[in-house]
Chain A
Amino acid sequence: MSRVFSKSVKMLILTLASILVVSVSAATYYSLVMDPHVGIEGALIQFVAGDDSTNAGATGYSTDGTWVKFTSIKAYPNATLTYEEAINVSNTDSSNPHSVRFRPGSITNLNGSATSANFTKIAFVLIAQNGTVAISNFNYTGGGSWTPPSTTSYVPIPQSEEWTIRIETTATSGAMADVMVEIDIYIDVEE
């Protein structure tokens, strides 16, 4: 009887010790497995071609859809030139909306300090799929020096929708030909 009791106690102690050892080992292994790592996947909001992308000289967007450069945007003196679909912005996520905003980067005069005086404005407008203007106040105003716009509020793009970026340019009356300006703007995306 005492032998059975002794064996039971021994077994109980070993079982408890075993549970402890296996639990802490599993927890340590789990902490190794759950180390954070970074995976690369396609951007959810991507630039895609619009009807006027070719006229605006849009390049670069076809690789990853994460950046675009316009090489042929023009401005007419005393007139407003509009590229209705300079580039489109597509929410490739089929289940969730994602918000975007415009944020100004740098602006560089490529023909000396007089360049800004030749422009009245360069505006970027975000238009929803149903034609509603979502962001309209993102204007670079010319003159003695450039007045950049403020960062806009976030606007949600519904899932699987394709919105449009419209670019409007206006040069001053009697503006010089061949003056050029380079503008960097960012489109921030809320995941």
Chain B
Amino acid sequence: MTLSLLPEFFAFLGVDVFVAMSLLSCLLDDHFPKTLPYIFQAAAIGGYVHILISKEFLALFGDYMRFWYCVLYLAVALANVIAMNIYLALIKKQWVAAKVFSGAVVFPAVFVSAFFISNYATQFAEFNFFQLAMIVSALVLGLSVAVLVSPKFLKKQWKKEVRR
């Protein structure tokens, strides 16, 4: 028997994102404000309270309302991740770190969240994010392999575009 996702899963995912951001901002404390890990930790505790309230008032809140306030919490968590990336790029002017951060943290976090939201949505509508994700992944993989095998080719193409 398979268990379908509950809307509270998104709040739980948001808690995980906040906790991960808290630890990451503590590790990279030279790049971010000193108070940021504690703010994220408090936000994660807020997420737990969010799930707890949802559980206690399960009969009162409908599926629709539960879904939207949990997705909103997850969206806030992801917005914070993206904001950290923008902070690195624009405020700190650390382009390399920002690029690494977007590839290693922002993209996986947004991708995983989108995957679970689409998975939840397939319970109600015939939309399969997984197939779309596979196509996008195949394209990205193909481009990455091409760049890896011949990095100079990409540079040449880029220079040609600039000259034109």
Contact = CB atoms under 8 A, between A and B. Distances in A.
B93 interface: no
Q: Interface residues of B: mostly helix, strand, loop or mixed?
A: helix
Interface stretch (A15-23, A102-110, A112-120, A161-169): A15-23
Given A28-B48, A32-B6, A32-B8, 5 more contacts: A14-B26, A15-B23, A21-B47, A32-B58, A33-B6
B27 interface: yes
Interface string B11-34: 110011001001100110100000
Contacts of A14: 22-23, 26, 37, 41
B121 interface: no
A17 B51 CA distance: 17
Interface string A3-29: 000010011001101100110111011
Contact of A28 (B22, B29, B45, B52): B52
A-side interface size class: 10 to 19
Contacts of A24: 48
Interface of B: 3, 6, 8-9, 11-12, 15-16, 19, 22-23, 26-27, 29, 37, 41, 44-45, 47-48, 51-52, 54-55, 58
B26 A29 contact: no
B56 to A, nearest CB: 10
Given A32-B6, A32-B8, A32-B58, A21 B29 contact: no
Top 9 A-B pairs, shortest CB-CB distance: A18-B19, A25-B48, A25-B15, A21-B44, A28-B51, A29-B12, A14-B26, A25-B12, A32-B55
Nearest to B38: A14
B80 to A, nearest CB: 15
A24 B15 CA distance: 11
Nearest to B27: A11
A17 B37 CA distance: 11
Interface string A66-98: 000000000000000000000000000000000
A18 B12 contact: no
A29 B11 CA distance: 9
A18 B45 contact: no
Contacts of B55: 28, 31-32
B112 to A, nearest CB: 15
B22 A33 contact: no
Contacts of B8: 28-29, 32
Contacts of B29: 7, 10
A92 B3 CA distance: 26
Given A18-B41, A21-B41, A33 B26 contact: no
29 contacts: A7-B26, A10-B26, A10-B37, A11-B23, A11-B26, A14-B22, A14-B23, A14-B26, A14-B41, A17-B41, A18-B23, A18-B41, A18-B44, A21-B19, A21-B41, A21-B45, A21-B48, A22-B16, A25-B11, A25-B12, A26-B12, A28-B48, A28-B51, A29-B6, A29-B8, A29-B9, A29-B51, A32-B51, A32-B58
